[in-house]
Homo-oligomer: A and B are copies of this chain.
Amino acid sequence: MTQRGTLGVAVIGTGRMGADHVRRIDEVISGARVAAVVDLDAERAKRLADGIEGCTAYSDAAAAMAADDVDAVLIASPGPAHEADLLTAFAHDLPVLCEKPLTPDAASALRVLQAEQKLGHRRVQVGFMRRYDAEYMKLKALLDGGSLGRPLMLHNRHRNASSPPGFTSANLINDSVVHEMDVTRWLLDQEITAVTVLRPRPSSNAPEGLADPQFVIFETDGGALVDVEMNVNTGFGYQVKAEAVCERGTARIGEEQSLVTETAGQWGGTIVQDFTERFADAYDREVQAWVDATRRGEVTGPSVWDGYAAAAVCEAGVRALTEGVRVEVEMIERPALYR
């Protein structure tokens, strides 16, 4: 790649994810710099900006997006603020990396989709970062290569050491299983048509009233069956595993075996404790891919359509959880822009 000038990025939102992206762009990513940080808390934004050469603090996203030295926007604000920020970015025709969820529900996601269609070209990459994980990328390449034949089933394990305070039964669907929704659609290149949520007797590790674990089943328009063990209070660590069962073989990812010890009557290794450890490289690769594509004048990666589809499947999932029945997913037809 030839050097075409360093990309000036405005990072909107400076919570855990936003602050981490600021650090990433400042220290890890090639070809980009943090030109602006935006937070409603002006003090917080200023403290962050002060540590970075040529970086301006804003408390108003629109002002940041209007600045001359801002070439692109990374949205890491809370979900409910995404729609407004995206529309402002469209108004400036700025390239966007938008953290998931695109928006909190299917209706608002659909409005963003229609706004981007009106713009006439893709501007948004949605932050489904598992697509940038080295193991998922290998699995995707293997499935696409076709040597294993058509996928029949996809088994997923998604485990957290513990759930954050206030995490609800619906959060398991909207915040956690949403990753498997995107992974399913991307790996299989199929849409999800129905969701069922089964509830074993909750773990005694789970807070009172939380339906944890859940066992979630997707059906797809290609006839594949997908199951997800969603388990957010395992106590022992963070794990993401997937196994594709195809007509001529299986393929699985997610067993970490990089350092094996033998000691005190035990062989084995450690289990990572959270997603930042498991997916650090994927986040780096995601943002680098966005910077590279943006500097080439392209938009790649998960689209607004993917964000909308995830929102639609989430809505079906939450209903399936609440009502205890199989729920069909309702979506509009896929617009030409996203084919």
Is the CB–CB distance between B149 and A204 below 8 Å? yes
Selected contact of A270 from candidates B54, B134, B265, CB within 8 Å: B265
Of the stretches A11-19, A90-98, A195-203, the one at the interface is: A195-203
A142-181 at interface with B (beta carbon < 8 Å): 142, 147-150, 152-153, 155
Chain B proximity mask over A233-271: 1 for CB below 8 Å, otherwise 0: 011110100000101111111011111111111111111
Is the CB–CB distance between B26 and A1 below 8 Å? yes
Q: Which residues of B contact A249 (CB under 8 A)?
A: 234-236, 261-264
Q: Which residues of B contact A256 (CB under 8 A)?
A: 267
| A229 interface contact, C-beta 8 A | yes
Is the CB–CB distance between A200 and B215 below 8 Å? no
- A223-B237 contact given A1-B27, A155-B229, CB 8 Å threshold: no
- Minimum Cβ distance to chain B for residue A24 (Å): 9
| A227 interface contact, C-beta 8 A | yes
Selected contact of A2 from candidates B3, B31, B51, B245, CB within 8 Å: B51
CA distance A239 to B53 in the complex (A): 43
| A225 interface contact, C-beta 8 A | yes
Is the CB–CB distance between B203 and A152 below 8 Å? yes
| A205 interface contact, C-beta 8 A | yes
| A294 interface contact, C-beta 8 A | no
Is the CB–CB distance between B253 and A52 below 8 Å? no
- Minimum Cβ distance to chain B for residue A260 (Å): 5
| A42 interface contact, C-beta 8 A | no
Which residue of chain B has its CB nearest to the CB of A3? B53
Is the CB–CB distance between B265 and A268 below 8 Å? no
Is the CB–CB distance between A237 and B255 below 8 Å? no
Q: Which residues of B contact A331 (CB under 8 A)?
A: none
- A27-B30 contact given A148-B263, A223-B201, A266-B269, CB 8 Å threshold: yes
Selected contact of A260 from candidates B51, B251, B259, CB within 8 Å: B251
CA distance A250 to B203 in the complex (A): 13
Q: Which residues of B contact A270 (CB under 8 A)?
A: 265-267
Candidate in A5, A259, A288 with the most chain B CB atoms within 10 angstroms:
A259
Known: A148-B261, A251-B260. 11 other contacts (CB 8 A): A4-B53, A27-B31, A28-B288, A29-B30, A135-B259, A152-B213, A152-B231, A201-B222, A203-B247, A252-B259, A252-B260
Q: What are 26 A-B pairs with beta-carbon distances under 8 A?
A: A2-B52, A3-B33, A3-B52, A138-B258, A142-B261, A148-B261, A152-B231, A198-B217, A200-B225, A205-B248, A235-B249, A235-B264, A236-B248, A236-B262, A236-B264, A250-B263, A251-B259, A251-B260, A252-B260, A252-B261, A253-B258, A262-B271, A266-B270, A267-B268, A267-B269, A281-B281
